[in-house]
Amino acid sequence: MSKRVIVVGGGVIGACCAYYLAKAGHSVMVLDRAGFGTGCSHANCGYVCPSHVLPLAAPGAIWSTLKTLFQRNSPLKVRPGVVLRNLRWFLGFARKCNTRDMLTAGRAIQALLNSSRALFDELIRTEHIECEWQTKGLLFVFMSKNHFEHYTHTDELLRREFAMPARRFDSSELAALEPALKPGMAGGYLYESDAHLRPDRLMSELKRVLMSLGVELRENRAVTGLAKANGTASAVLTNSGEVPADQIVIATGAWTPMLNDELGCRVPIQPGKGYSLTMPRPALCPAYPLIFEEHRVAVTPFASGYRLGSTMEFAGFDDRMNRSRLSLLTRAAKLYLREPLAEPVEEEWWGWRPMTFDGLPIIDRAPAARNVLIAAGHNMLGLSMATATGKLVAEMLCGEKPHIDPAPYGLSRF
């Protein structure tokens, strides 16, 4: 039976939830506090990457994080005041920095990543989505011999525990594979299962598809609460009035903890600020999307442009552009690439990634209302997990057998 479903959040997670719910025959409306596709889904690096199965919480991560409190230009930056104000989150992160929890989280991450990778192929083909989709893989590049050889342990772990192999390239092989790199790189690993797309084009196309399916899009609608009675929610409260609903999906990313009281739980999400620079393609543009693992900087060559991105800054909900973080991107690119930049810079951007301390998203019903489902906290992998999340949410709300076990993403783990 068709139901009226309100999806709160117009990012890639909310858009994919709306898509699969509409395909299931429901009447769907998407509400967003700003514009559809303008948040963290707008100018990320565009990776759909099954290779990224390991969470940030891993052995050794505690010491790496503590060092950032005293380093000026670390790719991962944590402000001391943020730690003190959110001590429960950071203690939870510290408890997860062990091999057992890392592998457990990694298997649950992989289930979403592998499903999403296949579903993206299907979605793009079925809906004729033009988003500069490319499936040539993702190339990890190492400058120093020590870092290159040390990555052998990660490669072996990914092969053994996750059946995730990579092709290894030594220095000369890497230079032949990717001529845009400066000579003398130590080596690289190519994950051929990975893909990439241009996120803003994807969101524009998803908007077109959703509207063709009859989905209503309501922008500049800030959600202020839920109308609840007897364990269910009957409407979403917004700055423009009530919106009645039979089912509600909360896909509000880093903003989700603002609704803690309405949801009846403490949502352990911290905003992790990521940055990017978008410009035209350099004359000598990389053929592959690249990750400079030692500097935590990514490079994405789109058909229509070129993007430097990544870094991570735990600065709370600070909405200022930190230009020193942009400088980290350009400095790293200059270390690795023959032609690292092009003019003019078309966009300087930042977005809040919704970070959970265990690296797993929350896909579960809200304790305060059984017809409200939370789909948030996808960390740095919102795009990569979006299609599988959308399909899983639709299955859960429709009472169908889920194609992925939802248990690992439940609130009971906190």
Q: How far is 332 from 302, CA to CA, in rounded Å?
A: 19
For 207, other C-beta atoms within 10 Å of its C-beta total 17
Q: 210: closest CA among 219, 223, 197?
A: 219
Q: How far is 30 from 219, CA to CA, in rounded Å?
A: 8
Q: 105: closest CA among 23, 162, 30?
A: 162
CATH of the domain at 207: 3.50.50.60
Q: Provide the residue type at 63 as one letter.
A: W
Gap between the terminal Cα atoms of the chain = 34
DSSP 258-296: GGHHHHTS---EEEEEEEEEEEPPPSS--SS-EEETTTT
- Nearest-Å Rg of the Cα atoms of the chain is 21
Q: 361: closest CA among 336, 331, 393, 332?
A: 393
Parallel/antiparallel/unpaired status of strands 47-48 and 195-196 = antiparallel
Sorted by sequence, the CB contacts under 8 Å of residue 260 that are 6+ apart come out as 266, 267
Task: Please give the residue range of the domain that contains residue 291.
Answer: 4-413
Q: 77: closest CA among 351, 316, 294, 258?
A: 316
Question: What residue ranges in 18-166 does DSSP mark as E strands?
Answer: 27-31, 47-48, 76-78, 138-142
| Alpha-helical runs (H) found in 213-263 | 260-263
Structure tokens at 284: 């000598």
Structure tokens at 196: 């990439």
Q: Provide the residue type at 123 as one letter.
A: L
Structure tokens at 313: 């800054």
Q: How far is 138 from 116, CA to CA, in rounded Å?
A: 16
Residue-level pLDDT, tens digit, the chain, 414 residues: 789 999 999 999 999 999 999 999 999 999 999 999 998 999 999 999 999 999 999 998 887 766 655 567 777 888 888 888 999 999 999 999 999 999 999 999 999 999 999 999 999 999 999 999 999 999 999 999 999 999 999 999 999 999 999 999 999 999 999 999 999 999 999 999 999 999 999 999 999 999 999 999 999 999 999 999 999 999 999 999 999 999 999 999 999 999 999 999 999 999 999 999 999 999 999 999 999 999 999 999 999 999 999 888 999 999 999 999 999 999 999 999 999 999 999 999 999 999 999 999 999 999 999 999 999 999 999 999 999 999 999 999 999 999 999 999 999 999
Q: Is the pTM of this model over 0.85?
A: yes
The sign of the dihedral angle between the CA atoms of 158, 164, 165, 167 is negative
**Cβ 378 vs Cβ 73: under 8 Å:** no
Residue 60: Cβ-neighbour burial (10 angstroms; 0-12, 13-18, 19+): exposed
Structure tokens at 255: 């903003």
Give the helix/strand (H/E) hosting 330. Answer: helix 323-336
Domain count, the chain: 1
